[in-house]
A and B are shown apart, each in its own frame.
Chain A
Amino acid sequence: MDHFDEFSRPLEYLSPMDRHLRSVLRRFIEQEVMPVRRQYDEDWKEHALIEPAFDRLMGELGLQKALFPQEYGGWGIAGSDYIFRFAYLLCEELGRADTGMAVALAVTFWPLLVIHLEPYVNKRLIAEFAPLFCGTNKAMFAANAMTEPQGGSDIENMGLLKGRTIRTTARLEGDEWVINGHKLWPTNSGGVARLFGVPCTTRPGSSDIDDFAFIFVPADAKGVTQGGPYEKSGMAADKNGDIWFDDVRVPVWYRAHGPGRDAEAFYQLIPFGQVASIAFLTGAMMNMYERLYEFVSTRTYRNRPLKENPAVAGIIGRIAGDIDICRILGHEAAMMGDRRNTPYGLPLISEELVGKIRNIKDFVSDRAVENLGKVMDVLGCYGPDRDWDIEKHWRDIKIIQLWMGGKQLCQMESARYFFNCETL
């Protein structure tokens, strides 16, 4: 194999933008990210190095506009039949360089998808928020503020809990929603995002999905307070912190769709987030392969290149094989999302689609966590060295296994679908 691009993917699945966008992104990455990414960890709080790269990626290259319709200056991707595959290529390409950066961009799409994806389109809100993202050359971020102090998984466990454990409340007063609550950990919190999508309940303790509300809240609305970013093991390009909503008032039409439909539109985010997660992981593993290739070709055991030792070859062969399989699975997961409106596709909110995509994400996360750990050991005394890039990916990607409800929720949702479990 001559190049990491040769890891398998079904070529007939590629979106029309694949070749062009990939080359634009790759140039951006080589110029703006690769030369400085080893310094990102120390920049976790200030983002002095990271912010200019975001300005270029999201503002100047314009990726933050991608979902919006062309009439607002966007690229119209949300209305295309390849949004999942578009997201996959974007997240994989960026993930190769820095998964934290990839997450910050993908999560900006996340709450916006709730109002963009057929059949859940809210034209008024699209028109309202388009100027924020399409009218600037500076990076503009959104956040999807789900997780609460008492737990993140439960809120994502819509199939079983249907929003019962959500504590952030939305109360209708005249023509305004009044929001109270505490969210934590959303990507692009910690003072970064200008717009939040906030899952709330209109009746605390209710398991009726009609009481689930998805409401947009501008970050500068009165009553919104944000804490500083948390210090984490990795993913420095993504800031995460606390957000408090204290009698925050937004217009009544900032609710995405209304009773019942909010929950469905929100549930679509789960497969999207999982597909993006898989893409971050395959991107990171492809870069792992590049660095591993260099190491095992230039370093020796018994005075021969490591890769020529059959025992080592057994290990690295399995690792590369895993990347190949994971990439095929990732593209399949993206295609499942893009087939949603076809006669042979499944709606994004079907238990089958959610179960199958969660299953792929769980599988790929496990492979990535194990393989990056193994590659650190192949590098041995160079494994923990930032200069070899492996340890950064190892630290960064662990959270991908843990977020969005964690591994155990993935296992439960898979079991629920494959075995028709009724009480899990």
Chain B
Amino acid sequence: MNKGLDYLFGITAGDRDGDAPGVISLARQWAAKEVIGNRLDYQRNYAALFEDKARVLALNMGLQRLAIPVDQGGFGWHGPDHAADIAAVLSEVGRADSSTGVILALNYVLFSVLTRFSEGRPRLVEAVATSYLEDELKIASCILPGPGSAGEETPLFKGRSILARVKAHENGFVISGADLRPFAAGLKADLFLVVCADERGRPCIAVVPGDAPGIERGRGLLTTGLSVLANADISFVETEIKQENLIQGPEAVPLLFTLLNLFLGGVSLGAGMNFFEILLDWSDSRIICGSTPLKENPLCASVLADAAEEIACSRLLLDGLARLVSPCRSVQPLDTEGLYTYAVMIGARVQQSIMRAINRGMELMGSAGYAKEWHAEKHWRDVKTIQSLLCGMGAEAPAKMDTARFFCDCKEI
């Protein structure tokens, strides 16, 4: 590839200031040196190397501390102003490895949510921050509303079933819920952000330490991608949390979804960009019909163009979403509902586009695209996993309902 990713897709990179370019470049160096430069070795010894490399990034290079507030010893990138920069960092990480990207994305979501609702709960932020400052790779996960079971009425968040319940207990709360499916890392997570329903059925977020009594972790699941994150179902059996560990109010859950869509969009975009780099290498060197470089065949060139278009448009959409998240940069601030709707809409579109880019690109790679050795297929599996997890259930239908409700004031859907 002779033009470089920044030139091809980074048209808005010039907007960044302060420390952002440095941090982004650090993440890029990590990706190049630790993973992309040793792809084959990384792939062959993935289970063993994954954590080593993630540690280098999170601990040695300090990215685990990026979103921790400054007064707690972190870098302070937890506010809306840094949303775009965080997404850009995650794209660099996603280029190398989506699972590492997902760990960091969930970490940044965690601190963005905690700090946004820190009023009245100073010890919670401090306690979580302190543990994240230790020299250990920390993994947060979240449990989102999703499909319910036929015959069981549950409280809803915009049509999606909330399967965890929380009720007041002594000086705090207890959570219950069986066989809940976390976003990732059910076996490994040190902390869960659990969307649960309070006694009046209202959605709220419980911050549940992974070692809280009453947490039962199911057997490890075999998954399409992100397998190294070791997911498993979680049950809460009267799990007690402190009062300040419950975040209530109508803004909490929408914010969680908004940030997940933005940050995981960043990870998938990065995976898509690296897939495109692999595809370009292939199409530069592969000869078809005895003498024609693949990319000079007009039909193949149009497939390459399709892939490029999907990635470039996703990049612009994500930049747009980041601007909406940071009100000072956006033209017209959106309320919680508006922001949530744009995030879900753009988030779904970005995941679809990246999947389309990879699916189309794989067409040109023949068997090489299907072989683990080439790494293209890993991006394909990882992004598909993120996409399915993020949409929750029902394919695009629930997000379309959210959109129709916001734009058209639908009341019954």
| B394 beta carbon closer than 8 Å to chain A | yes
| A386 beta carbon closer than 8 Å to chain B | yes
The reply to whether A232 and B391 form a contact with Cβ atoms under 8 Å apart is no
| A140 beta carbon closer than 8 Å to chain B | no
The reply to whether A164 and B290 form a contact with Cβ atoms under 8 Å apart is yes
User: Which chain A residues lie closer than 8 Å to B397 at the CB level?
Assistant: 301, 309, 311-312, 314-315
Q: Known contacts A233-B370, A233-B381: does B362 contact A311 (CB below 8 Å)?
A: no
The reply to whether A376 and B388 form a contact with Cβ atoms under 8 Å apart is yes
| B48 beta carbon closer than 8 Å to chain A | no
Q: Which one of A160, A233, A302, A402 lies within 8 Å of B366 (CB-CB)?
A: A402
| A403 beta carbon closer than 8 Å to chain B | yes
Distance to closest chain B CB from A124 (angstroms): 34
Q: Which one of A38, A230, A311 lies within 8 Å of B394 (CB-CB)?
A: A311
User: Which chain A residues lie closer than 8 Å to B226 at the CB level?
Assistant: 384
Distance to closest chain A CB from B31 (angstroms): 22
Q: Which one of B183, B221, B303 lies within 8 Å of A386 (CB-CB)?
A: B221
| A374 beta carbon closer than 8 Å to chain B | yes
- Docked Cα-Cα span, A124 to B367, in Å, equals 35
Chain B 350-398 interface residues, beta-carbon cutoff 8 Å to A:
355, 359, 362-367, 369-373, 377, 380-381, 384-385, 387-389, 391-398
The reply to whether A395 and B395 form a contact with Cβ atoms under 8 Å apart is no
Binds A, one of B105-113, B141-149, B187-195, B307-315: B141-149
* Residue interface mask B335-362, A partner, CB < 8 A = 1: 0000000000000000000010001001
- Count of interface residues, chain B, beta-carbon cutoff 8 Å: 62
| B288 beta carbon closer than 8 Å to chain A | yes
Binds A, one of B62-70, B156-164, B236-244, B273-281: B156-164
User: Which chain B residues lie closer than 8 Å to A385 at the CB level?
Assistant: 221-223
| B153 beta carbon closer than 8 Å to chain A | yes
* Residue interface mask B148-192, A partner, CB < 8 A = 1: 111011101001110000000000000000000101000000000
- Docked Cα-Cα span, A377 to B371, in Å, equals 24
| A267 beta carbon closer than 8 Å to chain B | no
Interface residues of A: mostly helix, strand, loop or mixed? Answer: helix
Please name the residue on chain A nearest to B226 by beta carbon: A384
- Docked Cα-Cα span, A376 to B223, in Å, equals 12
- Docked Cα-Cα span, A315 to B395, in Å, equals 8
The reply to whether A380 and B394 form a contact with Cβ atoms under 8 Å apart is yes
| B16 beta carbon closer than 8 Å to chain A | no
The reply to whether A377 and B224 form a contact with Cβ atoms under 8 Å apart is no
- Docked Cα-Cα span, A315 to B359, in Å, equals 20
Distance to closest chain A CB from B286 (angstroms): 7
| A394 beta carbon closer than 8 Å to chain B | yes
| A383 beta carbon closer than 8 Å to chain B | yes
Chain A 383-405 interface residues, beta-carbon cutoff 8 Å to B:
383-387, 391, 394-395, 398-399, 401-403
The reply to whether B371 and A230 form a contact with Cβ atoms under 8 Å apart is yes
Distance to closest chain B CB from A395 (angstroms): 7
The reply to whether B156 and A303 form a contact with Cβ atoms under 8 Å apart is yes
| B299 beta carbon closer than 8 Å to chain A | yes
Q: Known contacts A303-B161, A402-B366, A402-B369: does B225 contact A381 (CB below 8 Å)?
A: no
The reply to whether B181 and A381 form a contact with Cβ atoms under 8 Å apart is yes
User: Which chain A residues lie closer than 8 Å to B365 at the CB level?
Assistant: 402
Distance to closest chain B CB from A69 (angstroms): 35
The reply to whether B372 and A303 form a contact with Cβ atoms under 8 Å apart is no
* Residue interface mask A358-390, B partner, CB < 8 A = 1: 000000000001000110111111111111000
The reply to whether B393 and A380 form a contact with Cβ atoms under 8 Å apart is yes
Q: Known contacts A231-B372, A377-B387, A381-B389: does B150 contact A300 (CB below 8 Å)?
A: yes
- Docked Cα-Cα span, A233 to B43, in Å, equals 13
User: Which chain A residues lie closer than 8 Å to B181 at the CB level?
Assistant: 381-382
Distance to closest chain A CB from B172 (angstroms): 28
The reply to whether A402 and B398 form a contact with Cβ atoms under 8 Å apart is no
The reply to whether A301 and B224 form a contact with Cβ atoms under 8 Å apart is no
User: Which chain B residues lie closer than 8 Å to A295 at the CB level?
Assistant: 147
Please name the residue on chain B nearest to A38 by beta carbon: B222
Distance to closest chain A CB from B102 (angstroms): 12
User: Which chain B residues lie closer than 8 Å to A160 at the CB level?
Assistant: 289
Distance to closest chain B CB from A18 (angstroms): 32
Q: Which one of B150, B225, B362, B366 lies within 8 Å of A297 (CB-CB)?
A: B150
Q: Which one of B153, B183, B364, B398 lies within 8 Å of A381 (CB-CB)?
A: B183
The reply to whether A312 and B366 form a contact with Cβ atoms under 8 Å apart is no
Q: Which one of B161, B362, B373 lies within 8 Å of A230 (CB-CB)?
A: B373
Binds B, one of A73-81, A107-115, A148-156: A148-156
Distance to closest chain B CB from A227 (angstroms): 12
The reply to whether A381 and B286 form a contact with Cβ atoms under 8 Å apart is no
The reply to whether A306 and B225 form a contact with Cβ atoms under 8 Å apart is no
User: Which chain A residues lie closer than 8 Å to B297 at the CB level?
Assistant: 408
- Docked Cα-Cα span, A38 to B223, in Å, equals 11
Chain A 321-376 interface residues, beta-carbon cutoff 8 Å to B:
369, 373-374, 376
Please name the residue on chain B nearest to A300 by beta carbon: B148
The reply to whether B367 and A402 form a contact with Cβ atoms under 8 Å apart is yes
Distance to closest chain B CB from A81 (angstroms): 34
User: Which chain B residues lie closer than 8 Å to A406 at the CB level?
Assistant: 363-364, 366
User: Which chain B residues lie closer than 8 Å to A314 at the CB level?
Assistant: 397
The reply to whether B395 and A312 form a contact with Cβ atoms under 8 Å apart is yes
| B287 beta carbon closer than 8 Å to chain A | yes
- Docked Cα-Cα span, A16 to B241, in Å, equals 67
- Docked Cα-Cα span, A351 to B324, in Å, equals 55
User: Which chain B residues lie closer than 8 Å to A84 at the CB level?
Assistant: none
Please name the residue on chain B nearest to A153 by beta carbon: B288
| A182 beta carbon closer than 8 Å to chain B | no
| B401 beta carbon closer than 8 Å to chain A | yes
Q: Which one of A157, A311, A315 lies within 8 Å of B289 (CB-CB)?
A: A157
Distance to closest chain B CB from A97 (angstroms): 17
Please name the residue on chain A nearest to B387 by beta carbon: A377
- Docked Cα-Cα span, A334 to B371, in Å, equals 30
- Docked Cα-Cα span, A402 to B362, in Å, equals 8
Distance to closest chain B CB from A174 (angstroms): 32
Distance to closest chain A CB from B386 (angstroms): 9
The reply to whether A408 and B393 form a contact with Cβ atoms under 8 Å apart is no
| B400 beta carbon closer than 8 Å to chain A | yes
Extra inter-chain contacts (15) besides given A299-B150, A301-B160, A408-B363, CB under 8 Å = A153-B366, A231-B371, A301-B148, A301-B394, A302-B159, A306-B147, A311-B400, A376-B224, A381-B181, A395-B224, A398-B359, A398-B362, A399-B370, A402-B362, A402-B367
The 4 closest A-B pairs by CB, nearest first: A380-B393, A383-B388, A299-B147, A386-B222
| 16 contacting pairs across A/B (C-beta < 8 A) | A154-B288, A240-B367, A300-B152, A301-B159, A312-B394, A315-B396, A377-B391, A377-B395, A380-B388, A380-B393, A384-B223, A385-B221, A386-B223, A402-B365, A407-B363, A411-B299
By a beta-carbon cutoff of 8 Å, the part of chain B in contact with chain A is: 144, 146-150, 152-154, 156, 159-161, 181, 183, 221-226, 286-290, 297, 299-300, 303, 355, 359, 362-367, 369-373, 377, 380-381, 384-385, 387-389, 391-398, 400-401, 413
